[in-house]
Structure 1
Amino acid sequence: MTFHSPQRCLAEHGMARPVGEVLENPKVLRGLTENPSSFRFPDGALVTVAAVQWRPHIILNTDAEGRYVVTGPMANILNVFAQTMNFTYNVVSPPDSAWGAELPNGTWTGMMGQVTRKEADIALGPFGITYNRALRVDFTESLFYDPRAILSMKGTPEINPWGFLFPLTGTVWYVVAAALAVVWLTTLLVGRRPGELVSLRWTGEVFLQNVRVFLNQGLTGIVLGQGGLMVLLSWVIVSAVVFWSYNGALISLLAVRNIPQPIQTLRDLLDDHSITLVLLPMTILTDTISKMKSGEFRELHELKFVGRIRYEPPKAFKGLLETKVRTDRYSLQSTSLTLDLLIADDFLKTQSCDFYKTRQTFFTTSHCIIGQKDSPLFAAINHRVRAVVESGLYLHWLMKEIPAITNCRYTPSIITVKEPLSFANLWGLFLVLGVGLLLATQVFFLEMCCSPRKINSP
């Protein structure tokens, strides 16, 4: 299918009359009402279309004469309408570049305001459906469903100095400690003691023997008897398997670098008071959260009262990605597909995946075109919307706008490196050694000061 620019359409049809005037003709209106799926304006019509830039759905530019020109998937939909219904169109854009919000006096701003004031016949948006909007405008059938997410900058790869603890999970460490205690106590019960007496020194030597076995440090000649040797044998087998598993996992973990991606849910964002969130102004999300009485959405709305929300139009997001999000503690909130586009554009420019989206998505909405309330045009438009969606054309057009959409979608949060071990990898081990030496020194001085001294008889 070949799509023509609005300028070409206008040139072909000359001075077409506005669609509102054309629909005053009873014959035209009857043809539209009775045959919406095949209707064409007999002598053409001029439709005024409101639009703002919102990639990947719509790109808004101006031509050499200063007129607005739209391209992208929404423009393709508009051209389907224009060619199959035989109308031309001109594009207008609201001064605030917003979808629109309802003011206290009942009027609307943005594209909603242009449609409700009949300055535009339709607005491309695409728009999410809300009760207040539906009272003032009509919605087409949905073109696309998309949730919201949050985009943030990845951290730099970090070395974890406590990585030597991670080859075993916390549960395994607890079980090993419990097993060591059980083996020690069982040995004390069933083991043969020197002189058949239990001494504090012997119990300590048995415990240290079990620790040496776990660390593969060999055995000593402690008297244990047959029962004690059986317990020791079982402990040797368990210790060997755990120790070998630990060695293999440790080698891998010392080569791992963690890439911090701390903002994975809306709660993570709310709790991190250092982050400023960038939002689109006057959207279905901002309108909805302003009416919430409690919950995370209410907390999100209240961020603006503490200076943690910044409202920017869609065209500013790319610049903010390069400046504020990359270098400062800023995050962007938008639909998931828009964030995919920003990440893909950055990848094509830098060949690296420096940003990520939250795993949690929220506030899924439909994407629709709006028009004047009770407009007879919408019966014909909905037939065409349905055909485009069911054929998969709209999704196809969207994916063509984001050629690198999957390149950074499944990037790992950890990476492996091949480099010599440094002090940064191992300072946790040296800290453990230092604490052990400090405790040993303290015990030594306590023995020197507090141990009883023998008095020699004359």
Structure 2
Amino acid sequence: MTQLALCVMLVSEIGCNRDGLVICYVVIPPPDQQWGIKLPNDTWTGMMGQLDRQEVDMALGPFTMTPQRASVCDFSVPLHHENFAIITPRPKLQSDVLGFIKPFTVQVWLLILTSLLSVATAMGCVVWAEGKIFRHSEKNIVARAFLWVFCTVTQESSHWLPKKDGSRIIVSFWLLASLVFMSSYSGILTAMLTLPRVTVTIDSLADLVSQSALPWRLETGAAILTYLKESKEEVHQKAYRNMGPTIYALLRERQAVAEGKIAVICDETSMKKAMDLDFSTTGQCHLYIAQGKVMTNAMMSLAFRKNSKYLVQANHRVRILLESGLWHKWIGKQVANSSHCLRHPRLDRREGIQPLNLESFTGPVLILLTGATVSLLVFLCEHLSHLYVQPPKSTA
């Protein structure tokens, strides 16, 4: 793991004492390959278990500092603060079936529909009243008024116009309003087609536990396991109860995450290293770190056996590395290629102008097919009524 490799470099620094002599050390991996959590029988797993049983003098990590772990080990000076989040497959640009109605909100669409009905009704009433006053008749006034209002909204021409000034004033103001409506709609729709939509379905722990399509995993023996288990928040409890089998490390499972098989909850430094390796090998970004954090500002440090004689010297070396900026420089080098993939997926762009595919027009095509189906049904009803419902014969 990224930080584990950095801690090996750190141990090399600690291994030199003040007299310039080198202290030899042997790396003893834990049999179960875990960080270490406390079991119900008060024993510990992983590297924490090795410290508790005094099998080793120190444990590489760095480890999340918790009161429970501090009962069996002594922590060094904190190396840095870490956030725990969720890493998922990277959301991709996709077409939206209902994209053609997205330029306006539901409230705006309802107001436009209300305006259409109101103007058509008002125009029909005024034309009818003008016919009574000026003694001229108009056939199908209501149908013509509604059809004319609909044609103007869709920017279609109409041969019918009211004959008198009162109704023509309504026509003038409606033409101006419909011009504003449709110009705004066409402009926003053009912009939305130019900038395809990216939907991020999992951007927090609440999003993760509320879905069932993507299972999630945690690293074996990590402190985040205990944190979720002991938390009183329902979302944390649900995340712990419904998680799948634990994994050894994210870096071993990064391909499974990229392929959309699992999501992983772990520290962000490991996530950035997974992104770094993915981008370095493929030249593309296949991973995404959710914006919502699961745990924040966890202090990370080395762990030593209780009352270890190496702790004072280790703290001295750690402070030197932190004050000189070497530790953060080392981390930066390990995850240098992750910066390109840390930007939000909505900023991902294809090269050049992409032609619209059939999926982009799915919504309008469905409306067209629905209209054709309804018109066919109406035609069949008219035809059947003409065949079986005969008008009464007139008697001489």
Q: Which amino acid aligns with 2:106?
A: G
Determine if the alignment matches structure 1 residue 212 to structure 2 residue 154.
no
Q: CA deviation at 1:302?
A: 0.8
Matched-pair contact (CA < 8 Å) for 1:161–1:424: yes
Provide the C-alpha distance between the structure 2 equivalents of 1:233 and 1:439, rounded to a whole number of angstroms.
Answer: 33
Q: TM-score, normalising length from structure 1?
A: 0.75
Q: Which amino acid aligns with 2:230?
A: K
Determine if the alignment matches structure 1 residue 363 to structure 2 residue 299.
no
Matched-pair contact (CA < 8 Å) for 2:148–2:160: no
The residue number in structure 1 matching 2:329 is 396
Q: CA deviation at 1:111?
A: 1.2
Provide the C-alpha distance between the structure 1 equivalents of 2:283 and 2:53, rounded to a whole number of angstroms.
Answer: 46
> Of the candidates 90, 99, 107, which is equivalent to residue 35 of structure 2?
99
In the TM superposition, what whole-angstrom CA distance separates every residue of 1:205-257 from its partner, at most 9, and x where no partner exists? 21221111111112443436433322221221121122123223334444554
Q: CA deviation at 1:446?
A: 4.3
In the TM superposition, what whole-angstrom CA distance separates every residue of 1:2-31 from its partner, at most 9, and x where no partner exists? xxxxxxxxxxxxxxxxxxxxxxxxxxxxxx
Matched-pair contact (CA < 8 Å) for 1:353–1:411: no
| CA separation of 1:118 and 1:186: change in aligned 2, threshold 3 A | same
> Of the candidates 273, 278, 284, which is equivalent to residue 352 of structure 1?
284
The residue number in structure 2 matching 1:439 is 374
Q: CA deviation at 1:426?
A: 2.1
| CA separation of 1:100 and 1:419: change in aligned 2, threshold 3 A | closer
3-state SS of paired residue (2:87): strand
Determine if the alignment matches structure 1 residue 278 to structure 2 residue 213.
no
Matched-pair contact (CA < 8 Å) for 1:150–1:333: yes
The residue number in structure 1 matching 2:359 is 424
- Higher strand fraction: Structure 1 or Structure 2? 1
Tell me which moved more, 417-426 or 148-157.
Answer: 417-426
Unaligned runs of 5+ in 2: none
| CA separation of 1:411 and 1:351: change in aligned 2, threshold 3 A | farther
Determine if the alignment matches structure 1 residue 221 to structure 2 residue 160.
yes
3-state SS of paired residue (2:140): helix
Matched-pair contact (CA < 8 Å) for 1:344–1:405: yes
| CA separation of 1:363 and 1:411: change in aligned 2, threshold 3 A | closer
Tell me which moved more, 336-345 or 127-136.
Answer: 127-136
Matched-pair contact (CA < 8 Å) for 1:343–1:408: yes
Q: Which amino acid aligns with 2:11?
A: L
Greater relative contact order (CA < 8 Å, ≥ 6 in sequence): 2
Matched length: 384
Provide the C-alpha distance between the structure 2 equivalents of 1:294 and 1:353, rounded to a whole number of angstroms.
Answer: 33
Q: Which amino acid aligns with 2:78?
A: S
Q: CA deviation at 1:319?
A: 3.9
Determine if the alignment matches structure 1 residue 334 to structure 2 residue 266.
yes
Q: Which amino acid aligns with 1:243?
A: M
The residue number in structure 2 matching 1:141 is 77
Provide the C-alpha distance between the structure 1 equivalents of 2:90 and 2:180, rounded to a whole number of angstroms.
Answer: 38
Provide the C-alpha distance between the structure 2 equivalents of 1:153 and 1:438, rounded to a whole number of angstroms.
Answer: 40
Matched-pair contact (CA < 8 Å) for 1:274–1:329: no
Q: Which amino acid aligns with 2:145?
A: V
- Higher helix fraction: Structure 1 or Structure 2? 2
Mapping for residues 402-417 of structure 1, pairs under 5 Å:
402-413=335-346, 415=349
Tell me which moved more, 440-449 or 168-177.
Answer: 440-449
Q: CA deviation at 1:181?
A: 2.8
The residue number in structure 2 matching 1:265 is 204
> Of the candidates 320, 331, 338, which is equivalent to residue 253 of structure 2?
320
Q: CA deviation at 1:393?
A: 2.4
Q: CA deviation at 1:400?
A: 1.0
Q: CA deviation at 1:439?
A: 2.2
Provide the C-alpha distance between the structure 2 equivalents of 1:287 and 1:146, rounded to a whole number of angstroms.
Answer: 16
The residue number in structure 2 matching 1:289 is 228
3-state SS of paired residue (1:58): helix
The residue number in structure 1 matching 2:87 is 151
Q: CA deviation at 1:286?
A: 0.9
The residue number in structure 2 matching 1:88 is 23
Q: Which amino acid aligns with 2:332?
A: M
Tell me which moved more, 213-222 or 359-368.
Answer: 213-222
The residue number in structure 2 matching 1:165 is 101
RMSD: 3.0
> Of the candidates 172, 180, 205, which is equivalent to residue 233 of structure 1?
172
Provide the C-alpha distance between the structure 1 equivalents of 2:147 and 2:205, rounded to a whole number of angstroms.
Answer: 50
Q: CA deviation at 1:408?
A: 0.9
Unaligned runs of 5+ in 1: 1-53, 60-71
Tell me which moved more, 329-338 or 438-447.
Answer: 438-447
Provide the C-alpha distance between the structure 2 equivalents of 1:146 and 1:214, rounded to a whole number of angstroms.
Answer: 56
Q: Which amino acid aligns with 2:268?
A: S
Matched-pair contact (CA < 8 Å) for 2:86–2:294: no
Provide the C-alpha distance between the structure 1 equivalents of 2:128 and 2:164, rounded to a whole number of angstroms.
Answer: 5
Q: CA deviation at 1:391?
A: 3.4
3-state SS of paired residue (1:187): helix
% identity of equivalent residues: 24
In the TM superposition, what whole-angstrom CA distance separates every residue of 1:356-408 from its partner, at most 9, and x where no partner exists? 11121221211011222244543443344334324332211100111212111
The residue number in structure 2 matching 1:249 is 188
Matched-pair contact (CA < 8 Å) for 1:129–1:366: yes
Matched-pair contact (CA < 8 Å) for 2:205–2:235: yes
Matched-pair contact (CA < 8 Å) for 1:266–1:360: yes
| CA separation of 1:103 and 1:221: change in aligned 2, threshold 3 A | closer
Provide the C-alpha distance between the structure 1 equivalents of 2:376 and 2:216, rounded to a whole number of angstroms.
Answer: 52
